[in-house]
Structures are given as structure tokens and as C-alpha cells.
């Protein structure tokens, strides 16, 4: 059965369940619990007491009965405000009002019954408890007020995850992949986070995040009730991923009709200019954005059936400031005196074509294709670079700035229904979400044929359907079933898709096909910005996730047991091929010592060309857990449990998989049969994950919490790397490299690409994507310990030690990387040449990555009182390791490949997300004048002074580490880290650190031939980060309606946050210099909202 048909049938079945029960159920992941003990006036426990929890906004009630220990549990309540009532004959009714329940919270509400008539009532009205006395879980809940009022760039709710201790923005390699907030939590890779929406899986299953977000649906801020970031949870009900859990919940309707209309607008006239533009004398670029929409919710049948819906549309046009290095007028004539490197000749360069003394190449020696392609480069336009034209060794890099326009349009909506049946004994939910994105990116080099970066035309469509049914069975059991489906399809096309240009420039040997052709091959050229491409275009991916789960809660005496099972299928169908339109490399100056000179001469050191092939992959997963929350007494709760997970390795629908046995070098092929026969990887069947945590209330104001948990990361996103489906014979991906300058160029540009055919595959000329057949599942050992102390009725502080220790992380390597038998002299021995692979790139995944994270995390939180609420968190941390999730690499972040595949001990060091100190503060402040506030002024001046609020977010962090690199002279093959030699202190005592001289460049040197660099991993640290966002509101009430006027400012003080300096010692024109910023300048946003 095809995946498409399977998807349609499953979706129909899910919808049928919704129809049968009027719409399926909220899952435990997006609910909370209320527990407590009922006693009499003497303190004796009371069994058999009827306890009712009523959600105030809907009137929906749930009923429980106390055990023989006087305890009760409501295990899976929808979030909101509750009233809890206890009733027993001979006693007055006891009521505990205004209990605010958030996602995954376990609130305690104890009640005391006094002797009297049941018709009499003793009401306890007070604030919800601030202390978390029932669980060791760590995290941060963001409520509806914070979601609506805090200033959010782009109205992205996930940005508020950064308010949580231990959470920081992910490295640039992954943040550049999309606008959604990518973050690392407690030392885990950014791709390990787990997103849920209304308790259902909200993670895409794409291999490379080409949809620009890990979420299938990014719900509008105004549609969310709240969300919680759980950086550490010791409940066994969470699994599959080892990172943070992000629980978001769409609003539910209530007994009253409520809604909103909103419009947020931004315009470049109110923005500051980018730092790069200011330095280059370029005017501020265009920027217009409109985000508008509305929400509506209310009753279908009062007290029983409710609905909620929302729509949001985004329209964005924004100048994208991009920096490039283009050939100067002299360089276009073959006069290379401005370059700092010397020229040399070789046996592969025609006599008379290199004048090393004058550093020139006669135009008559230019490859004719290279000469034609030079015209695609724009002329330099940065004043500092223009002033240096003609200066020997004085090339300024970058020397070109562009401000092309990005267009990004989004339409999205959500529809949710909730149904209460049999007086609250049955709860039913159904929700459908849709999100459509259309994005057109500008190329760095202006001309779409020239490109210069990954500018693309992107179309994304995400859909999500969730349904479930929860039932109270008697006084002690609760059951819920959940079914969900999500799907996201994405296409990323090169800008000249469908516009064949190879013949125009004389490029030969690249197949023409309407499915992928357009533009010219991607060419990486040392010293200047790459031209053509981009690689990996076009890309097409469609991912689907089907999830079915049943959870059972059993309340028995002092125990609250939970059991659950889940079956899921994750599917991805994709085209993610590196070089459908070809790729060439002239980057390392293999033949002339200057990459740009090699290009002019047409001498390519690598060639890549891929034949078209679609992959259809999936994995099946089964999970089960058992969990107990054991209340050992009024002051001590123990949470413990175990989880079991089994996921198949990636399977191909047609069993088209190929691997290489690392022990024998034998090529093996998938076939029908066992899971191993089909996947060529031995599955792990022993993934048991124990969890335990405690909460000890030492005093009414002091709680100690701690725990340990083992978490598995079942799947990783690593693009097309090491995908067994992308191998011969089903896929031919030619990857030919000259191992050293003594080997002939793989391509002479004017002669064109070498022919590619599936009929005669040479194992030495293709890239092999393979995996260790005996992998372990990556796992994280997570621990925490610390106190939480209530300073006052509204103020609480907590301090935690947090440890996170990853073992068996998935790490890429070239299994056939050459071995330096005699460093500095050679030769290089390629270990798999003996099996007929020559110097071929055998890209392998193995599970020997490790990382270690230690942190002290402090948080001070004040809930709204006297018009002021704030959360302030400080994290002191240390993150070390020898691997990085593949998609986080780039933008200065390295670590996805080792330096030496045969000695990975050289790769252990500070991770790219190692930020020693981070301080984040958010606040909401209502000025004291206005209705219901401290002062109620009158008259015109009073009206003008009333109902103002100021809200903000301040973030200050240390800088990130980076590795100083160099041109590879080891001659050991492709895809490994190339580090410089360290010959001094990067920042010696008394060093004057400036943006033009960030570190002592004399402390580094290029390695000699047949050597790796001596520098360690991530040994230099870049600039820190600071940002202040501020919003000012004015509310105009009109009875039960109100209008809200808002002005929001992002980067209020226009602080410049600098990018990494040039970090390649082999590129002296930029080495040690900062030429770009990593954050937007001050930007303003204006908004009007109408609440009714």
C-alpha cells in the first residue's frame, strides 16, 4: 500500500472517530493534575469524600472520591482556572477557588471539612500555590498574558522558550534555516527538541528542515492558551526525543462568546539601518510587514459543547543585507597582486600561464568557460574595498553588499471543538490546523544565475489533525485515547529553475531534465563568493506522522499509577540530492596556490554530479510506559517509572537500500525478510528508560526537588548524509576528488563534466552514504537537584544544578579518510582502497559521539501583583563534547565531522552552544493609573493617563566559541575539519580586542603538507550578545469590550551584535576581522487589537 493511500485511510479513520464521539480527546501531554488530601478539623484523613473539580470558564466538572488515606487525584484536567469542592455527609462543604492549572503542572489543593450541615459552605479564596511540591520536573510555563503582551519578533510564540533557564539560541548553522526559534536546552542538540500541540506530535519528519521549522504548525500567538517548555521531566510518559518538550495548547471555547481582531504593522521608516549598510554607505533597505487576523470562541451548547477558531495572515517584504566577495577589476584581468597569497605553477598548468613574480595570468590562458562566467559577478561596491583597489596584498573581503527583497506570505488557521458528555465523565476534543507559506528569497550576487548563496523559491504546506476521547471510569480510573496525523510538504527550487543556462556559458556534460534543470552548476572558488547553483536544489520533501496512543490512570491509596502504549509511523518521501545540476570546487588552490587562479585556468579539484532518484522512507515505533506518583506523606512525593521504546531503523518502501560492511568492505543490499534484512542495520530492542524524581517540602516555604532520567533520541535529522537509500545501484552520486596537487584536475572546465551512467558504476568515483550496522541509540542521562523557596505570596526563587550527559551520539565521518603513516612526509594510505574503493568518500554514521553539560540555573519569578509580574533567570553553564548535530553546522559552527576519523579524541572541546553566562529577564508592568488599579484619575488628563502598560524582555549572553581553520593540506580526503596550527595565545594579556582585530592573528599558522593542524576544537570565543525588546500598551475599555493600542520596539537601544570574525588563516584578507552582524537593528511595530 502506498504511503499516500495509507495516509488518506488513516486520516479518514481518525475523522470517523471524531464523528462517532463528536470529536476526539485531549492527550495527557497538554493537561495538568490537581491532587490533595481531605481532613477533618483535627487533621484526621477522611475517606469516601466526593471531590469535584470544575473548570470555571466552561462549567465542566470532574468528580473523584478520596481514598482510605483521604487523598484524591484529578489526573488529566484541561488547563485553565478551577474550583475544587469537597462534600461528605455531616460536614460543611469545603471549596478551594481560583486554582490556576498550567500544562503538565501537578497542583496541590488540600481541603479541611468542618462539622456542620452540607448546605453550609467554607470557602478558601486565595492565590494558587507558587511552589511546585508534587513533581521534580523542570521548565517554564508561559501563560496567555505573557503570550499576548510580551514583545515578540514576528509573533513567534517559541521565542518565549528563551526565557527558560538553560535555554539558548542554537548555532547559526541551524538558525539560518528558518525564522522559527531554534534553541538548545540543557546541552542537548537543537534538533532533539520535541514539539507537541494539544498533546499530539507536532514535529515534521523531514531530513533537513527545508520547511524552515521543526514544527508542522506554528500556531499564532493569539490562538494559544499557553505553552510550557519542559527542559527536564522525570515522567516516563515522555519519550522518543532527549531534548526539551514544548507543550502548546490551542484555546478552547467557553460558556461566553469571546474573540479578538488584530493587525500588526511594520515599516522601514521607523527602523534603524543595519550596521553593514552603515559601514558601506548604503541606505536602509525596504521593510514592510502586515500580520492580521482574528479569533472567536464560545459555546455550541452551554456547559457541554464549545468551539474555537482563528485565522492569521502574514505579508512580508524585507530587504536582505548580504555580503559577498567578488573579483576586483584587476582580478578580472588576471592580475592577482591584490591577493596576499603567492602564485605557483605546476605540471598541469600550461607553460607561460603563471608569472609568479608579478602574480599574473594572461587573459589568453583563461579557460573560456571561466571567462564567460566572470561576467556574472557584480562589481565591488563597498567603499573601504574600493579604496584598497590596486594595493598589493590589500584585497578587502567582503567587498560587495546587496539588499535584495525577500517576499514571505503565510496563511494559517485552526479549528477546535470540545465536548463534555455524561456530566464530565467523558471529554472529547477535535482540532484541525492548516498553514501555507510562500517564500521568494533574493540572491546574494543579485543575478539569480550567479546566485552566490542558497536563495530559493520555497512553498510549504502543513496540516495537523488530532482527536481523542477521555473517560472517567469509576472513582479511581481514567482512560484516554488519542489519534493524530500531521503532514507537511515542501519544495525548494533554485531561482532559475526551468531556465537552462549551461549551453550559453559553454558548460558541457550536465544532463538536462525538466524535473531539476535550471541555472548553472554550483562552483566553490577560493577567495571569492561561490557562483551558480545552489547545490541541493531542487528539493522536495513530504513528511507524515501517524500516532495512536492509549493512556490509563489508576488512583490507588497513596499511588497515582499511569500506564500507556503508543504506535506510530513516521514517513518521509524526498528528493534531497547534492548535485543534480553539477558542482565543482576550485577552493583550495590545489594547482596554483590560489583558488581563484585555479578557476581562471579551469582546473577543478573536485567534481560532483548526481542522477535523479526519489527516496521513500519510513520508520515504525512502539512505545510503552509505567509511571507512579507516590505520595509518601504530606511533605514528600516520589515519581518513578520506566519507559520502553522500539523504533525500526529507516526502511525503504521498495527495499532499495545499500550499505558497506565496515569490517570487510563488502557492499550489502537490502531484501525482503527481517528488519535487518530490509534496513541493513541491527535494530535496538533494549531501549529501557528508567526515571525517578522527588519533591520534598521541608517547610511550607521550602521545597527540594531532584531526579534522574534516561532519555533516548530515536531519530536524527542529518539531511541526505549517510542515507542508505542514496547509494548505488538506485542512485549514482559521482564525487571525484584529486587527493593532492600531484594528481591531475578531475575536470578541465572547458571540457565539461565526466559522463555519468547507472550502467557502469565505478565504486571509486561515487560518494557512498553508509552507516554502522551495529549502532547504539543515542541517549542522554539527565540529573538535577536544588531548592525552591517562596519569598512572599507572589515571589519565588529556585536554584538547580543540572547535568546532561549524552552518549552514543550520531557522528558523521569519512570512513575512508586517509591515514598519515608518516606525518609531514607521506604517503597517505586510504584504508578502503584495499576493497576497491580507492580514495572514494565513504560517509558513515557511527554512534560514538559524547557531550557533557553542567549548569547552575537560578530563577526569580513574581506573579502578577500590584500591576507587576516578572521572570528573571541566570544560567552558568559548561558544554563540552566531540559531536554536533549535522544541521547545526555552518555559520561558524563545526563539529559534525571529525578532524581525524581515526582519532576522535582530538574533537572534544567547547560545543558551539557553550555559553558560560546568560541572563534573561521579562516583565509586565501595569502603570498604577486606570480602572481597577491603584489610582483612578478623572477628567481629560486622567483619561489620557489611564490604562497604560510597559512590557519587555532583556537578554545578555557571553560569546560562542569557534574553531580557527585552514586550507586542508593533509591530503587525507574529503569532509573533515581543517584546523590551523596554534603557535601562540589567541587573546594574550593586554591585547586590544577590536572588530578589525578580534584575536591575535600571528598566533596561528597554516599546517604543513601531510599534517593536521595543532589547534584544538572551538578554542577562541566570539562576541557576546545583548538585546532589549520593549512594548508600550494603551487599553481603551468599552463596557465588556476593549481596544488595545501597541507600540513595540525590538533591539530598543540599537545594540550591534557582531558575527564571528574571519576564522580561516588561509584567507588573510578577512582573517581576524568582523565584517557582519547577526541580529537586526532597532525595529518598531505598531498594532491595534480589539477584544470582545
- Per-residue model confidence (pLDDT) at position 16: 41
Selection from 93, 123, 122, 96 nearest residue 109 by Cα: 96
Average pLDDT of the residues of the chain = 91
Cβ atoms of 376 and 501 within 8 Å: the answer is no
Per-residue pLDDT band for 475 (boundaries 50, 70, 90) equals confident
Strand (E) or helix (H) holding 19: helix 3-20
Q: How far is CA 1029 from CA 163, 178, 183, 920, in A?
A: 13, 21, 19, 11
Q: Could you tell me what percent of the chain has a pLDDT over 90? A: 74
Q: Would the pLDDT of 199 be above 60?
A: yes
Q: How far is CA 889 from CA 400, 590, 667, in A?
A: 25, 25, 30
Region of residue 899 (left: phi > 0; alpha: psi -120 to 50; beta: else): alpha
Q: Would the pLDDT of 128 be above 60?
A: no
Least confident of 71-75, 289-293, 1046-1050: 71-75
The residues near 738 (Cβ < 8 Å, ≥ 6 apart) are 590, 605, 606, 744, 745, 746
pLDDT in tens, 931-989: 888 888 887 777 788 899 999 999 999 999 999 999 999 999 989 999 999 999 999 99
Strand 245-250 to 194-197 pairing: parallel
pLDDT in tens, 998-1043: 999 999 999 999 999 999 999 999 999 999 999 999 999 988 899 9
The residues near 606 (Cβ < 8 Å, ≥ 6 apart) are 583, 584, 585, 735, 736, 737, 738, 746, 974
Q: Would the pLDDT of 587 be above 90?
A: no
**Is the peptide bond preceding residue 398 cis, with omega within 30 degrees of 0?**
yes
Question: What does the domain layout of the chain look like in residue ranges?
Answer: 3-125, 917-1091
Mean pLDDT of 619-629: 96
pLDDT in tens, 658-668: 999 999 999 99
Cα distance between residue 782 and residue 708, in whole Å: 6
Cα distance between residue 195 and residue 214, in whole Å: 8
Per-residue pLDDT band for 4 (boundaries 50, 70, 90) equals very low
Mean pLDDT of 846-868: 95
Selection from 799, 808, 813 nearest residue 973 by Cα: 813
Strand 615-633 to 1004-1005 pairing: unpaired
Strand ranges inside 526-605, DSSP E: 539-556, 559-575, 583-586, 603-604
The residues near 762 (Cβ < 8 Å, ≥ 6 apart) are none
CA 829 to chain centre: 39
Strand 80-87 to 50-55 pairing: antiparallel
Cα distance between residue 467 and residue 23, in whole Å: 6
Q: How far is CA 291 from CA 154, 265, 307, in A?
A: 8, 6, 24
- Per-residue model confidence (pLDDT) at position 676: 97
Cα distance between residue 736 and residue 732, in whole Å: 12
759 by DSSP, 3-state: which? coil
pTM more than 0.85: yes
The residues near 340 (Cβ < 8 Å, ≥ 6 apart) are 393, 395, 1068, 1069
Cβ atoms of 712 and 240 within 8 Å: the answer is yes
Per-residue pLDDT band for 123 (boundaries 50, 70, 90) equals low
Strand (E) or helix (H) holding 789: strand 779-792
CATH fold of 3-125: Immunoglobulin-like (2.60.40)
Mean pLDDT of 672-700: 96
pLDDT in tens, 860-900: 999 898 899 999 999 999 999 999 999 998 888 888 899 99
Q: In angstroms, how far is the first alpha carbon of the chain from the final one?
A: 49
Cα distance between residue 290 and residue 870, in whole Å: 29
Q: Would the pLDDT of 15 be above 80?
A: no
- The larger pLDDT score, comparing residue 346 to residue 425, is at 346
**Burial annotation 894-929 (CB, 10 A radius, 16+ → b, else e):** bbbbbbbbeebebbbbbbbbbbbebebbbbbbbbeb
978 by DSSP, 3-state: which? coil
**Is the peptide bond preceding residue 241 cis, with omega within 30 degrees of 0?**
no
Selection from 964, 962, 997 nearest residue 1074 by Cα: 997
Per-residue pLDDT band for 461 (boundaries 50, 70, 90) equals very high
Amino acid at each position: 500500500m502506498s504511503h499516500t493511500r495509507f495516509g488518506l485511510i488513516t486520516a479518514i479513520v481518525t475523522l470517523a472517530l471524531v464523528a462517532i464521539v463528536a470529536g476526539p480527546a485531549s492527550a495527557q501531554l497538554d493537561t495538568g493534575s490537581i491532587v490533595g488530601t481531605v481532613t477533618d478539623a483535627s487533621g484526621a484523613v477522611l475517606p469516601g469524600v466526593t471531590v469535584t473539580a470544575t473548570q470555571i470558564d466552561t462549567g465542566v466538572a470532574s468528580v473523584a472520591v478520596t481514598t482510605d488515606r483521604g487523598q484524591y487525584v484529578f489526573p488529566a484536567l484541561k488547563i485553565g482556572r478551577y474550583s475544587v469542592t469537597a462534600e461528605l455527609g455531616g460536614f460543611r462543604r469545603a471549596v478551594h477557588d481560583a486554582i490556576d492549572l498550567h500544562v503538565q503542572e501537578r497542583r496541590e489543593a488540600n481541603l479541611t471539612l468542618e462539622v456542620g450541615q452540607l448546605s453550609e459552605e467554607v470557602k478558601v479564596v486565595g492565590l494558587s500555590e507558587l511552589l511546585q511540591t508534587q513533581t521534580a520536573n523542570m521548565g517554564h510555563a508561559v501563560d496567555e498574558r505573557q503570550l499576548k503582551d510580551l514583545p515578540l519578533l514576528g509573533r513567534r510564540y517559541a521565542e518565549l522558550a528563551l526565557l527558560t533557564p538553560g535555554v539558548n539560541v542554537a548555532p547559526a548553522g541551524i538558525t539560518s534555516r528558518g525564522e522559527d526559534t531554534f534553541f538548545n536546552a540543557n546541552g542537548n542538540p537543537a534538533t532533539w527538541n520535541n514539539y507537541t500541540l494539544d498533546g499530539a506530535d507536532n514535529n515534521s519528519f523531514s531530513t533537513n528542515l527545508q520547511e524552515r521549522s521543526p514544527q508542522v504548525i506554528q500556531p499564532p500567538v493569539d490562538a494559544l492558551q499557553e505553552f510550557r517548555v519542559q527542559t527536564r521531566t522525570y515522567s516516563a510518559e515522555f519519550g522518543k526525543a532527549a531534548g526539551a518538550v514544548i507543550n502548546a495548547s490551542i484555546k478552547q471555547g467557553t460558556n461566553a462568546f469571546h474573540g479578538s481582531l488584530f493587525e500588526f504593522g511594520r515599516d522601514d521608516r521607523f527602523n534603524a539601518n543595519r550596521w553593514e549598510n552603515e559601514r558601506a554607505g548604503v541606505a536602509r533597505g525596504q521593510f514592510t510587514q502586515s500580520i492580521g487576523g482574528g479569533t472567536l470562541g464560545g459555546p455550541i451548547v452551554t456547559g457541554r459543547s464549545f468551539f474555537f477558531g482563528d485565522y492569521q495572515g502574514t505579508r512580508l517584504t524585507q530587504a536582505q543585507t548580504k555580503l559577498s566577495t567578488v573579483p576586483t577589476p584587476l582580478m578580472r584581468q588576471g592580475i592577482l597582486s591584490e591577493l596576499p597569497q603567492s602564485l605557483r605553477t605546476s605540471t598541469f598548468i600550461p607553460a607561460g600561464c603563471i608569472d609568479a613574480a608579478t602574480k599574473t595570468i594572461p587573459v589568453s590562458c583563461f579557460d573560456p568557460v571561466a571567462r564567460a562566467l566572470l561576467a556574472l559577478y557584480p562589481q565591488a561596491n563597498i567603499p573601504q574595498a574600493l579604496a584598497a583597489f590596486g594595493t598589493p596584498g590589500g584585497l578587502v573581503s567582503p567587498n560587495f553588499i546587496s539588499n535584495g527583497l525577500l517576499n514571505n506570505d503565510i496563511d494559517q488557521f485552526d479549528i477546535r471543538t470540545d465536548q463534555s458528555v455524561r456530566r464530565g465523565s467523558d471529554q472529547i476534543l477535535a482540532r484541525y490546523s492548516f498553514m501555507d507559506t510562500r517564500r521568494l528569497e533574493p540572491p546574494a550576487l543579485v543575478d539569480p544565475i550567479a546566485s552566490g548563496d542558497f536563495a530559493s523559491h520555497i512553498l510549504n504546506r502543513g496540516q495537523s489533525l488530532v482527536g481523542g476521547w477521555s473517560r472517567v471510569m469509576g472513582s479511581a480510573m481514567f482512560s484516554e485515547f488519542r489519534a493524530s496525523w500531521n503532514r507537511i510538504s515542501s519544495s525548494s527550487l533554485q531561482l532559475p529553475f526551468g531556465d537552462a543556462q549551461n549551453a550559453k556559458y559553454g558548460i558541457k556534460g550536465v544532463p538536462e531534465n525538466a524535473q531539476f534543470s535550471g541555472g548553472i552548476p554550483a562552483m566553490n572558488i577560493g577567495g571569492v563568493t561561490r557562483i551558480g547553483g545552489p547545490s541541493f536544489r531542487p528539493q522536495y520533501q513530504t513528511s507524515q506522522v501517524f500516532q495512536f496512543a492509549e493512556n490509563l490512570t489508576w488512583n490507588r491509596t497513596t499511588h497515582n499509577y499511569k500506564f500507556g502504549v503508543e504506535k506510530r509511523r513516521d514517513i518521509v518521501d524526498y528528493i534531497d540530492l547534492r548535485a543534480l545540476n553539477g558542482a565543482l570546487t576550485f577552493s583550495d588552490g590545489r594547482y596554483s596556490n590560489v583558488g581563484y587562479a585555479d578557476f581562471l585556468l579551469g582546473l577543478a579539484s573536485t567534481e560532483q554530479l548526481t542522477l535523479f532518484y526519489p527516496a521513500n522512507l519510513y520508520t515504525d515505533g512502539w512505545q510503552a510506559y509505567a509511571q507512579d506518583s507516590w505520595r509518601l506523606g504530606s511533605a514528600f512525593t516520589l515519581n518513578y517509572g520506566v519507559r520502553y521504546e522500539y523504533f525500526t531503523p529507516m526502511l525503504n518502501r521498495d527495499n532499495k537500500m545499500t550499505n558497506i560492511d565496515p569490517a570487510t568492505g563488502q557492499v550489502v543490499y537490502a531484501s525482503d525478510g527481517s528488519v535487518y534484512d530490509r534496513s541493513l542495520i541491527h535494530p535496538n530492542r533494549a531501549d529501557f528508560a528508567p526515571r525517578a524524581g522527588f519533591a520534598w517540602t521541608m517547610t511550607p516555604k521550602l521545597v527540594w526537588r531532584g531526579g534522574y532520567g534516561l532519555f533516548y533520541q530515536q531519530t536524527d535529522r542529518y539531511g541526505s548524509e549517510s542515507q542508505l537509500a542514496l547509494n548505488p545501484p538506485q542512485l549514482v552520486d559521482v564525487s571525484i576528488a584529486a587527493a593532492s596537487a600531484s594528481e591531475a584536475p578531475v575536470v578541465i572546465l572547458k571540457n565539461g563534466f565526466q559522463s555519468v551512467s547507472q550502467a557502469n558504476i565505478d565504486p571509486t568515483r561515487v560518494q557512498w552514504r553508509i552507516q554502522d550496522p551495529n549502532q547504539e541509540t543515542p541517549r542522554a542521562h539527565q540529573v538535577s537537584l536544588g531548592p525552591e523557596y517562596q519569598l512572599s505570596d507572589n515571589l519565588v526563587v529556585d536554584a538547580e544544578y543540572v547535568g546532561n550527559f549524552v552518549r552514543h551520539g550520531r557522528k558523521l565521518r569519512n570512513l575512508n579518510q586517509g591515514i598519515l603513516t608518516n606525518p609531514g612526509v607521506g604517503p597517505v594510505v586510504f584504508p578502503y582502497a584495499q576493497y576497491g574503493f580507492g580514495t572514494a568518500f565513504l560517509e558513515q554514521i557511527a554512534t560514538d559521539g559524547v557531550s557533557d553539560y553542567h549548569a547552575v540555573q537560578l530563577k526569580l519569578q513574581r506573579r502578577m501583583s500590584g500591576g507587576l509580574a516578572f521572570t528573571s533567570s541566570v544560567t552558568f553553564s559548561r558544554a563540552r563534547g566531540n559531536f554536533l548535530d549535522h544541521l547545526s553546522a555552518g555559520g561558524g559552527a563545526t563539529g559534525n565531522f571529525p578532524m581525524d576519523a581515526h582519532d576522535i579524541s582530538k574533537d572534544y572541546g567547547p560545543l558551539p552552544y557553550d555559553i558560560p553566562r546568560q541572563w534573561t529577564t521579562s516583565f509586565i508592568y501595569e502603570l498604577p493609573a486606570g480602572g481597577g488599579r491603584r489610582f483612578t484619575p478623572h477628567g481629560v488628563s486622567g483619561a489620557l493617563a489611564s490604562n497604560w502598560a510597559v512590557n519587555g524582555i532583556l537578554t545578555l549572553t557571553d560569546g560562542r566559541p569557534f574553531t580557527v581553520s585552514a586550507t586542508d593540506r593533509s591530503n587525507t580526503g574529503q569532509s573533515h575539519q581543517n584546523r590551523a596550527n596554534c603557535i601562540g595565545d589567541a587573546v594574550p594579556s593586554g591585547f586590544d580586542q577590536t572588530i578589525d582585530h578580534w584575536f591575535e592573528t600571528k598566533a596561528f599558522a597554516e599546517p604543513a603538507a601531510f599534517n593536521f593542524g595543532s589547534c584544538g576544537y572551538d578554542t577562541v570565543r566570539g562576541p557576546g550578545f545583548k538585546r532589549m525588546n520593549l512594548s508600550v500598551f494603551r487599553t481603551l475599555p468599552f463596557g465588556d469590550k476593549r481596544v488595545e493600542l501597541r507600540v513595540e520596539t525590538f533591539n530598543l537601544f540599537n545594540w550591534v551584535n557582531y558575527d564571528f570574525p574571519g576564522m580561516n588563516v588561509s584567507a588573510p584578507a578577512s582573517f581576524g576581522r568582523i565584517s557582519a552582524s547577526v541580529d537586526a537593528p532597532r525595529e518598531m511595530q505598531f498594532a491595534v487589537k480589539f477584544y470582545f
